[in-house]
Amino acid sequence: MTRAIFAANWKLNHGPAAAGALVREVLARFQPRADREQIFFPPALSLGAVVEALAGRRDAAAGVQHVYWEPKGAFTGEISAPLAAEAGATWALVGHSERRHKFGETDEETGRKVRAVLAAGLAPMLCVGELLEERRAGRTEEVVLRQLTGGLAGLDAAATARVVVAYEPVWAIGTGVNATPADAAAVHRTIRRWLADHTPPGSRARILYGGSVSPENAAALLAEEELDGVLVGGASLKAESWLRIIETARPGR
Ligand code: PGA
């Protein structure tokens, strides 16, 4: 059985005190289940508090939202994958649309970051997704494949198989307008075909959907076979809505 991934991207929200308290509350109210895991992506300054709050729970993990590709050196303000690992992270987001579109991160840079994350022994979650004008122009597939190719450049098949991809259409992020399960699944199939050609025979990639996932739409999205989990921003910030999402039933899975 593939475990479903419920990933919480808190973006620039929750300092150490709030972050630790939220994870403690969520874990106290949610008993481990074999069919799912949670990953919290707090701001880097709150990582330590989250790792402490995980208290060794096997079904939950922590990650960073961003790393620089160099491991150390004269790079004022940056954080690196080895330092994140030392601080207890086991995951790193790479190429989130806010990094790409608000901070100008390129496909080539996401590729360097994915390689740095893997080299440090962390699991990368590579985010891809098209802008509204790209979707309207019928370019969704081209954009997503370009981001995949750039983000996974230079990896051998075994390394590629360690990457989880999150499909997050930019027009759905933080807007309250989610992709329909069918539209998300169509893009997932494109991603899955590409990954099947670049990973060892028999490996099945885990592909998440993100973009305005909420307690109201999580069941319909997760009923879609193609979705191996969700990456959630706004609705992951409070215990109540996050718990409703992670408790979503997945009939027949
Ligand atoms: P959202 O954000 O759930 O608030 O749309 C998702 C994300 O940016 O990862």
Q: CATH number of the domain that 201 lies in?
A: 3.20.20.70
- Residue 253 lies inside a defined structural domain of this protein: no
Alpha carbons 243 and 185: distance in angstroms, whole number: 24
Residue nearest to atom 7 of ligand 1 (CA): 233
Report the domain count for the chain: 1
Structural domain of residue 33, as residue ranges? 4-246
- Residue 52 lies inside a defined structural domain of this protein: yes
96 carries an active-site annotation: yes
H helices within 15-92, ranges in order? 16-29, 47-54, 81-86
pLDDT for 1 equals 63
- Residue 110 lies inside a defined structural domain of this protein: yes
- Residue 251 lies inside a defined structural domain of this protein: no
Query: Angle, to 10 degrees, between the axis of helix 47-54 and the axis of helix 16-29?
Result: 20
Range 184-193, long-range pairs (CB < 8 A, 24+ positions): 184/209, 184/221, 184/224, 184/226, 184/227, 185/224, 185/225, 185/226, 185/227, 187/140, 187/141, 187/144, 188/226, 188/227, 189/226, 190/141, 190/144, 190/145, 191/128, 191/144, 191/148, 191/165, 191/167, 192/226
Q: How many A from CA of 74 to the centre of ligand 1?
A: 32
Whether ligand 1 lies within 6 angstroms of the CB of 174 is answered as yes
- Residue 161 lies inside a defined structural domain of this protein: yes
Whether ligand 1 lies within 6 angstroms of the CB of 129 is answered as no
Whole-model pTM above 0.85?
A: yes
Whether ligand 1 lies within 6 angstroms of the CB of 128 is answered as no
Question: What's the CA dihedral at 212, 214, 219, 220 to 10 degrees?
Answer: -30
- Residue 218 lies inside a defined structural domain of this protein: yes
Helix (H) or strand (E) holding 207: strand 207-210
Token digits of residue 149: 């190719």
**Are the C-beta atoms of 209 and 166 separated by less than 8 Å?**
yes
- Ligand 1, from 231, 241, 246: best to mutate by most atoms within 8 Å of Cβ? 231
- Residue 46 lies inside a defined structural domain of this protein: yes
pLDDT for 251 equals 77
Q: Considering 96, 98, 109, 130, which one is annotated as catalytic?
A: 96
- Residue 114 lies inside a defined structural domain of this protein: yes
Q: How many A from CA of 170 to the centre of ligand 1?
A: 9
pLDDT for 250 equals 87
Which residue numbers in the chain have pLDDT < 50? none
pLDDT for 239 equals 98
